[in-house]
Structure 1
């Protein structure tokens, strides 16, 4: 099933969805949707309009038939965060409308939520730099695969800024409060092996193997039961904010939903028949 999903014809975008931004590319191959930030000359640093493009893109994906999402950067880097430098061309100038900074930050917050709360499993594929908001974007995904040459930094302090893109909430949950403070206060750049030691990434692979490794995991996720996986994602995302009793109640309600689906019935039949289930998403 996974191989069939991965090998289906590549489509240019989600059918019926408008192009979110010229530098945000969305492609669908079967049940797997890939979102690529494509501004390599600025290491994929995002303008306000690009954040909006990501936000709208993920909202479209949430309502699509996609069953797994890969979030990546073009040109050998993941994302250098927000483009806070001078607008040195017409494209960048047009992407920075005159609005109060706090309005931009609230728009970015909506982008964080669109990625984090996407009901599909999201894999961040990190090559090169993931710094500032780019680091936060990787953390907003469900899992992170990176190359051996990946570099991560909460660079905010070096720019005279405090944390944003949800990093103050996301990172301590991933690596603990003390290590998160160390990265936040110093702005240190860490490599892939240190990121793995801290638990920031799931797996580190050679740069030439990164695409294949992520494709394999995405195909595995896309072959799974979408409704059950969406439930589990929500349970895990909410786990630190609710009591054990509330978690147990949510799990009970979730299983009530699952047992009413075709996919759970198919899984039970497949178990008895000693074969792999073929999940259809309903």
Structure 2
């Protein structure tokens, strides 16, 4: 049974972490499969948006603790020189994917599992789901981008509290704090998330990618640099067939059909 199941329908690629017995805990096999999948999604013109979720009752319960002994092993020169580790490289693969990424948190998201959701562009939770930073409970400091993404989403004070206490956070508290975009009843969760994903997939693919790149660049640049990059990006968009299609569809009062050209 594959540790990661992938299905693409109407431009939406559903990536399902498939280790339900361990609540989809992360080991090197699953992490490597996710890294490959996100890199491939970036290069696949058929994929317009990615939805990441978990099989069974959990989203991702964090690091598979049976792999702890292997985290510090350095069996190759690559591993000895690796500054990120496989969980760090996974956070980069999600964050730097050129397609919008939605984390569908159907159940527990803990530790590195929560970090995966934080690296996504959008997050939704089922009402019964909960999250926890978790690391401090295991005498660990955060990884997989937790200390980068969390304070940017919920503010430094709340991030500090959650990291220092490792407390459980219910879905509606996560929504109020700005960690997730919306919470849906369990039975309605995936239909709502997929509806949003399909709406995004109907948009112009090149404009989606330019927009994602601009959003990510905005955290580490100044206004003048961002304005220059915005101007460069929108000029590139104006040169596409999709802009002409959008204008024609507007004048004809119909839904545009964007082809990424």
The answer to whether the aligner puts 1:81 opposite 2:70 as a matched pair is no
Identify which range, 115-124 or 21-30, moves more after superposition.
21-30
> Residue 15 of structure 2: SS of its match in structure 1?
strand
Among 2, 5, 8, which residue is 1:28 paired with? Answer: 8
* Residue 66 (structure 1) aligned to one of 44, 47, 63: 47
The structure 1 segments of at least 4 consecutive aligned residues displaced by more than 6 Å after TM superposition are none
* 2:156 pairs with 1:182: no
SS where residue 164 of structure 1 aligns? coil
Q: 1:99 is matched with which residue: 73, 91, 102?
A: 73
Structure 1 CA distance for aligned equivalents of residues 36 and 67 of structure 2: 25
Q: State the partner residue of 2:256.
A: 277
Relative to 1, partners in 2 of residues 1:97 and 1:232: Cα closer, same or farther, differing over 3 Å? Answer: closer
Deviation of residue 97 (structure 1)? Answer: 9.1
Contact 2:16 2:55 in 1 (8 A): yes
Q: 2:227 aligns with which of 209, 232, 248?
A: 248
Structure 1 unaligned regions, length at least 5:
1-20, 88-92
Q: Which residue of 1 aligns with 2:195?
A: 216
Please tell me the root mean square deviation across aligned C-alpha atoms, in Å. 1.9
CA–CA distance in 2 between the matches of 1:84 and 1:196? 29
- Shift in Å at residue 105 of structure 1? 4.8
Contact 2:61 2:108 in 1 (8 A): yes
Q: TM-score, normalised by structure 2?
A: 0.93
Distance 1:63 1:77 in 2: 29
Distance in 1 of aligned mates of 2:225 and 2:122: 25
**How many pairs were matched up?**
255
Task: Write out per-residue CA displacement over residues 24-73 of structure 1, whole angstroms, 9 at most, x where no aligned residue.
Answer: 11111131111110111111101112111100111111111201111000
**Structure-1 separation of matches of 2:109 and 2:208:** 27
Query: Contact 1:154–1:187 at 8 Å: present in 2 too?
Result: yes
What CA distance in whole angstroms lies between the structure 2 residues aligned with 1:145 and 1:97?
30
Give distance in 1, aligned partners of 2:260 and 2:220.
Answer: 28
Following TM superposition, by how much is the alpha carbon of 1:244 offset from its aligned partner in structure 2, in angstroms? 0.6
**TM-score normalised to structure 1 length:** 0.86
